[in-house]
Structure 1
């Protein structure tokens, strides 16, 4: 078996046995295809022919080509897992990635929307729909636009109020919502299940959508999907990205420039970051926030403590009478 065939077996293992998400599998597929192609140019196609020097040379090549440290870190993780799989599956005997150090990615603090801006973003008025010229309120088109307004409000409230990922929001079914118990059953990365509370503004917005929005959007193809498109199908990730970006634009929330120098609008994950940060600022325990976010390791959640400490410093500088004395 050559490296390319082993790569296909490994991707199948990730999907079927590990239950990895399609996003993870796709990322690993791209990283490993690049790796295998690089080795093939060096006439290395057999799994046992790969030496440690070949791996380290490839990693250095990624750095020379300008790949970000985070991208290189992900590639190294994919390569390590790939070689461990080949040894475990007896495809080869050598493990050239043993004790291979990973490049340390620089600390990147996620973007966070302030509480004041978040309140403006979720203001009821931003989701109100009025008839267009010549449009009758009883028309199906107008009723669908009103239903979409209720849906969009509920989706943003859940992203921020429950700290959901976009994929988790899109994957919600009506049967996973337990409003009487104020709970949502969420399926996160790797199909891992967790239960998160839904209450207050998020619960109220969801009830309104279920009562007055979803029935208007519902069609024979809807199934049990919670959030629906205008065609009655399950809402897509792309649609959620668009809804959040448009809401951010209406609320005047500035967004940072991307790698291409353009501003791509408010990102749904920013609402999840804001959820975690505001909880910690309010005194929530780090382990509780970890559980709510569905992080496998508390070290991932600890990233938000850096933001919280920044917030504490700003409050101190603003409030203490002697903070600015030199």
Structure 2
């Protein structure tokens, strides 16, 4: 498990985990397998969940100092959970992070109760702190068009990386898929006949997302003129991934983030963003173009409509800004 900061912002979580009683470590290992294999969560999500629980159990162990593994876990009650969150709040942890850690704790205690590791589920009595949901930064339609026009100009030189970057930018904006979903795509997931791409989202859930003519053209150029060059140069035959890195393996999300940051950064005045910003942008433009919330929810792969409704606030804010500028009685 990679080293990262604990609940106090200084403690290395690897050291915290190593200091836990053996039974607690074993329980963490079981929980990690449950998240990865049974729930099918991404490696990034699993690391975040486990990091939060290591922080919680480290707080419990340091606070009580019990040598008996079972006794130490038995003392995990709602008072301890609240004290753990209160300490982090005192250390300046944001409300959003506290809400996430509260949810992680509830998920863990419910699982531990089912496994018989806890006699009762203390997380069921834990209330998450209310979060202030900030409006996501999005590109205006003209800014998005400028990003893609500049990218297409680079692809016209038939440089393999330019073709790849243009294709992934077009596909991100056309579909609003997550960066992990984009990197997980295989060549066989693209259906040019119906112009749809098969995506495996959170929890391994499959959905089909359409894309338009510009994305089709960019993908065909990449597959015809860019991808074969990288395969030949790296001798990586048999790689199924749709998007390849310069060494011929599956493209890494970090590389996609760099591509998006650089592309958006080339447009004067555009908000700095990564792939998730393009996802926000795609959703916002769909709603502004007349798409209904349910359809956008399906396209984005949101589990609940409440997540998709965030984008309605973005469009309302934009409408208010237009009203302020255009209506003679706005001010």
TM norm. shorter chain > 0.5: yes
Partner residue of 2:118 out of 92, 98, 110: 92
Rate the CA distance shift 1:227–1:125 in 2: closer, same or farther, 3 A: closer
Q: Is the 8 A contact 1:150 1:213 kept in 2?
A: yes
The offset of 1:122, in angstroms, is 0.7
Moved over 6 A (4+): none
The offset of 1:7, in angstroms, is 2.1
Partner residue of 2:81 out of 29, 35, 55: 55
When structure 1 is superposed on structure 2, of 225-234 and 109-118 the one drifting more is: 225-234
Matches within 5 A, 1:218-297: 218-219=231-232, 220-222=235-237, 223-255=239-271, 265-297=272-304
Superposition TM-score, scaled by structure 2 size: 0.86
- Once the two structures are superposed, what CA deviation does each residue of 1:156-179 show, in whole Å capped at 9, x if it has no partner? 011111101111111111100001
Q: Secondary structure at the match of 1:184?
A: strand
Give yes or no for the alignment of 1:312 onto 2:319: yes
Superposition TM-score, scaled by structure 1 size: 0.88
Partner residue of 1:111 out of 130, 137, 141: 137
Q: Which runs of 5+ in 2 are unaligned?
A: 1-21
Q: Is the 8 A contact 1:186 1:196 kept in 2?
A: yes
Q: Is the 8 A contact 2:230 2:248 kept in 1?
A: yes
The offset of 1:188, in angstroms, is 1.1
Partner of 2:10: none
- Once the two structures are superposed, what CA deviation does each residue of 1:109-149 show, in whole Å capped at 9, x if it has no partner? 11101111111111146642799xxxxxxxxxxx6xx1111
The offset of 1:18, in angstroms, is 1.1
Give yes or no for the alignment of 1:184 onto 2:184: no
Partner of 2:329: 322
Partner residue of 2:49 out of 24, 28, 36: 28
The offset of 1:5, in angstroms, is 2.6
> Which structure has greater helix proportion?
2
Rate the CA distance shift 1:74–1:281 in 2: closer, same or farther, 3 A: same
Partner of 2:179: 166
The offset of 1:189, in angstroms, is 1.3
Q: Secondary structure at the match of 2:88?
A: helix
Partner residue of 2:306 out of 299, 302, 321: 299
Partner residue of 1:15 out of 22, 25, 36: 36
User: Equivalents in 2 of 1:76, 1:180: separation in Å?
Assistant: 46
User: Equivalents in 2 of 1:205, 1:126: separation in Å?
Assistant: 8
Q: Is the 8 A contact 2:40 2:202 kept in 1?
A: no
The offset of 1:317, in angstroms, is 2.4
- Once the two structures are superposed, what CA deviation does each residue of 1:224-270 show, in whole Å capped at 9, x if it has no partner? 11111222221111111111111122223544xxxxxxxxx531111
User: Equivalents in 2 of 1:253, 1:22: separation in Å?
Assistant: 35
Q: Which runs of 5+ in 1 are unaligned?
A: 132-142, 256-264
Rate the CA distance shift 1:97–1:273 in 2: closer, same or farther, 3 A: same
Q: Secondary structure at the match of 1:97?
A: helix
Rate the CA distance shift 1:161–1:65 in 2: closer, same or farther, 3 A: same
